[in-house]
Structure 1
Amino acid sequence: MSGPSQVKDVPIESGAAGRAQLVEYLASGVRPRDDWKIGTEHEKFGFRTDDLRPPTFDGERGIEALLKGLVRFGWTPVEERIGDGPARVIALTRDGASVSLEPAGQLELSGAPLDNLHQTCREAATHLREVRSVAEPMGLGFLGMGFQPKWTREEMPWMPKGRYAIMRRHMPTVGNLGLDMMTRTSTVQVNLDVASEADMVKKFRVSLALQSVATALFADSPFTEGKPNGYLSYRSHIWTDTDPHRTGLLDFVFEDGFGYERYVDYLLDVPMYFVYRDGRYIDAAGQSFRDFLDGRLPAWPGHTPTLLDWADHSTTAFPEVRLKKYLEMRGADSGPWNRICALPAFWTGLLYDDAALDAAWDLVRDFTRDEIHALRDGVPRHAFKLPARIGNTRGTVLDLARRALQIAAGGLARRARVNENGSDETIFLGPLMELVEAGITPAERKLELFHGAWGGNVDPVFREFAY
């Protein structure tokens, strides 16, 4: 999840002029191909190495102490005043990147916009090395999985951030699993650029149609409270019962005429969570941004929004693919460090090369809405084994994943971005190629260990799969 946006605070005009201003805001993100960047984000669960419990915010072994410890690596603290109390460190920034907290203290790196995947992987490795150097003396470890494998919702701590308090109150009114989404899930995602509105539309459609393939490739959340939960990506399932007003597949993206204007209309109809002013959050949960535009927001009557409010509001929509000034791929469970690099490799290979994008579009262009929804609904439980159509051939999601990886590999090879050893970016697809070759997801590998070497005990996952 995001914190307050960093956008120029310009008032939004009223009426049609204001709507055009919002469209222009989204469209202003287009970049020439030579300036396309890759921004990778990943979350991870902290745990105390002695009892495996998640660390609280406060205390000598707390998350705030960890953040303060990271300052020695050149990070700048970001503070938020909690109620009437003192300002507390809730995030860090450095060179276009940030370290922030999810609601239960999941630690997130929001990486800087970088030129290639070699830089992305170095950034992730540096971050994990810094975190480990601070965490180990504190008796803390970190685990990459899609869902907290051991602890109940009630046993998860809450971070003292204003927007999370509002969401915590609102979530149970719109779904059954929203609090689980907040406290017990972790993801890895990538943010990618577009060259034009037409380019955005094509990339949006391809990535929505193939998002379930990414979910299958990265499926790594088979445990709930120490036992198998019947899913391979329980994190993905949780989004189906979080808040139907702001989640899921966006069918209108596939309709004729889709573009920035239609996405603005969608966002205007997503209920608000808050307004952020003068360092505090005003609870506007469930209220209308359209009313805000007219100065009729019940939570703050007589006031109208700025582009900063619009940017904040855009972060409160959680579809499978999200449009800001760029596209965010949101369908993957978190995992070990090499899959942090693999997720941006998969989508960069598919979307940043014209031939690859054309081939990916050919793969999905005749998918029906029912087929896309069937993939979304079935993959969390069945992953690679779910039936899927490839052209006129009946197969499985495994076959679809294999073909998508082949296309992505070709796209990365043609990008020809090499490291100091002469290796191009296809090296980062290696972990996914191995999964497809074996025909088994990360979740299924953990289930085999659970039923075998671990003797029905989930605790070893914290030791064997920690960063």
Structure 2
Amino acid sequence: MARDQIDTQPVESRDDLVAWLEAGCKAPQKFRIGTEHEKIPFTLKGHEPVPYEGENGIRALLEGMHALNDWEPIMEGETIIGLADTIGGGAISLEPGGQFELSGAPLASIHETCAEVNSHLVQVREVATPLGFGFLGLGMSPKWTLAQTPRMPKGRYNIMTAYMPKVGTHGLDMMYRTCTVQVNLDFSSETDMVKKLRVGLALQPVATALFANSPFTEGRPNGFLSFRSEIWRDTDNARAGMLPFAFEEGMGFERYVDYALDVPMYFVKRGDRYIDVAGSSFRDLLAGRHPALPGERATVSDWANHLSTIFPEVRLKRFLEMRGADGGPWANLCALPALWTGLLYDGASLDAAWELVRGWSAAERQALRDDVPRLAFKAEIAGRPVLELARDVVAIAREGLKRRDVRDSQGRDETRFLGPLEESLEAGRTPAEALLERYETDWNRSVEPIFDECAY
């Protein structure tokens, strides 16, 4: 989850909220790629969870990273909870269970994104190894119970932890035990945003299948290929899902604002203090009649923070966030942005992707979303298996990256980053299925080897 916004400018009306989103429109030559990924820390000895406190804890890791890269500490009171690159725009933050997240800087190419990921993982390892822990590239913690999982000292997470069990069965699993890789991409206009949002939503289950990598819970197979994706089906359905309204006539910034206004709030932040307003209405805050803040008006920060607590399959802020993929191996952290950049940042590819999905009904899209966590490539939509559909999607992305023709210092274009996906498609199996096969054979039905084989 991104760093909380700080902008105390008051928001006067719904129109201000719409204008704030619309200000995200950029000229295509200014489009950037922002990649985020989370990873699970574990002790090298015993494969146990890593607490926040202590000589060998997450705090020590953050302090070590600060000494190494000199990024600015992000503090909550006296507690370090992250690091910010004030020059490049990247940040390191903590998810509720200690999952360590890099929110990458907005970069011009996948080459730069992959260099950033590589440099970050090398730095993390340099600091973490002497502290006695490593990091897993998976979509879900494979071994520990919720009770065994540590809790990070962030005020917003305390509020969410209390609220989640009231609105779904899997909210705490989502918070404490899952990891994702996602990419943030730009739009040039309202029309461009809507088309990208629709293609992103329709094809998000295909990305879920391609990156499915969370088949274990508490030491055993959980019956799913992407249990992380299944968890989202019952986390908090008032703020998650496939946004069927996005495909209706009249979709635009205003329609998304109306949706977001109806999503219950979690918190309001004033200074370092989080005020628990879970379940209440942003409309009341906008009107200056919120019971927790009588007479106070909403600020730009309140709106930006509220938008960051909405979790649909594609999230609209001043950019679009593709949210369907499990965390995974090093190469997949570059493959995910390559896939969506190839699909959305080339006009012909975006048109081809839209042609692929435009005939699907809301019911078909939802059925695909429901089936993919368990079936992945074997799920079907409109009579087509996802494996076949995913081959088309990756081929469209490849053509888009070819046409972008952004070269690295060795003259290579960005298509090479799709390699791991093309290997999966050729084999006809997801990363999760490869892990399950290892579990049943070489690993002798134990998840312990995963801490060697899936560590960064």
Category of TM-score, reference length = shorter chain: over 0.9
Matches of 1:31 and 1:293, distance apart in 2: 27
State the shift of 1:74 in Å: 2.2
Matches of 2:380 and 2:137, distance apart in 1: 28
Matches of 1:395 and 1:295, distance apart in 2: 51
| Letter matched to residue 41 of structure 1 | E
Q: 1:84 — aligned with what? A: none
| Letter matched to residue 403 of structure 1 | D
Task: Report whether the alignment pairs 1:50 with 2:45.
Answer: yes
Q: Helix, strand or coil: the match of 2:41?
A: strand
Matches of 1:9 and 1:324, distance apart in 2: 18
Task: Report whether the alignment pairs 1:386 with 2:379.
Answer: yes
1:68-467 correspondence runs (5 A): 68-71=63-66, 72-81=68-77, 87-94=78-85, 95-389=88-382, 394-467=383-456
Matches of 2:15 and 2:433, distance apart in 1: 48
Matches of 1:9 and 1:122, distance apart in 2: 35
Cα deviation digits, residues 99-146 of structure 1 (max 9, x gap)? 000001000000000000000000000000000000000110000111
Moved more, 292-301 or 341-350: 292-301
Contact 2:25 2:186 in 1 (8 A): yes
Matches of 1:182 and 1:450, distance apart in 2: 26
Q: 1:40 — aligned with what? A: 35
Contact 2:159 2:276 in 1 (8 A): yes
Matches of 2:441 and 2:241, distance apart in 1: 36
Q: Helix, strand or coil: the match of 2:450?
A: helix
Cα deviation digits, residues 18-45 of structure 1 (max 9, x gap)? 1111100000000000000000000000
Matches of 1:395 and 1:438, distance apart in 2: 18
Matches of 2:448 and 2:272, distance apart in 1: 40
| Letter matched to residue 433 of structure 2 | E
Matches of 2:313 and 2:153, distance apart in 1: 27
State the shift of 1:465 in Å: 1.1
Contact 1:218 1:332 in 2 (8 A): yes
State the shift of 1:374 in Å: 0.9
| Letter matched to residue 309 of structure 1 | D
Task: Report whether the alignment pairs 1:9 with 2:8.
Answer: yes
State the shift of 1:336 in Å: 1.1
Matches of 1:108 and 1:370, distance apart in 2: 34
State the shift of 1:2 in Å: 2.4
Q: Helix, strand or coil: the match of 2:147?
A: helix
State the shift of 1:294 in Å: 1.6
| Letter matched to residue 11 of structure 1 | P
State the shift of 1:3 in Å: 2.8
State the shift of 1:9 in Å: 2.4
* Divergent runs of 4+, >6 A: none
Matches of 2:72 and 2:285, distance apart in 1: 33
Matches of 1:300 and 1:285, distance apart in 2: 13
| Letter matched to residue 256 of structure 1 | E
Q: Helix, strand or coil: the match of 2:279?
A: coil
State the shift of 1:151 in Å: 0.4
Q: 1:67 — aligned with what? A: 62
| Letter matched to residue 160 of structure 2 | M
| Letter matched to residue 347 of structure 2 | D
Matches of 2:425 and 2:114, distance apart in 1: 22
Q: Helix, strand or coil: the match of 2:264?
A: coil
Matches of 2:426 and 2:8, distance apart in 1: 50
State the shift of 1:10 in Å: 1.3
| Letter matched to residue 210 of structure 1 | L
Matches of 1:348 and 1:74, distance apart in 2: 30
Matches of 1:283 and 1:232, distance apart in 2: 35
Matches of 1:370 and 1:110, distance apart in 2: 34
Cα deviation digits, residues 304-330 of structure 1 (max 9, x gap)? 111111001000100000000000000
Q: Helix, strand or coil: the match of 1:153?
A: coil
Contact 1:287 1:298 in 2 (8 A): no
Q: Helix, strand or coil: the match of 2:407?
A: coil
Contact 2:365 2:381 in 1 (8 A): no
Q: Helix, strand or coil: the match of 1:241?
A: coil
State the shift of 1:53 in Å: 1.1
Q: Helix, strand or coil: the match of 2:233?
A: helix
User: Where does structure 1 lack aligned partners over 5 or more consecutive residues?
Assistant: 82-86
Cα deviation digits, residues 374-415 of structure 1 (max 9, x gap)? 1100000000011233xxxx3300001000000000000000
Q: Helix, strand or coil: the match of 2:278?
A: coil
Q: 2:23 — aligned with what? A: 28
Q: Helix, strand or coil: the match of 1:281?
A: strand
Matches of 1:302 and 1:181, distance apart in 2: 35
The TM-score, its normalising length taken from structure 1, stands at 0.96
Q: Helix, strand or coil: the match of 1:194?
A: coil
State the shift of 1:267 in Å: 0.5
Contact 2:2 2:103 in 1 (8 A): no
Across the two proteins, how many residue pairs are aligned to each other?
453
State the shift of 1:55 in Å: 0.5
User: Where does structure 2 lack aligned partners over 5 or more consecutive residues?
Assistant: none
Contact 1:78 1:91 in 2 (8 A): yes
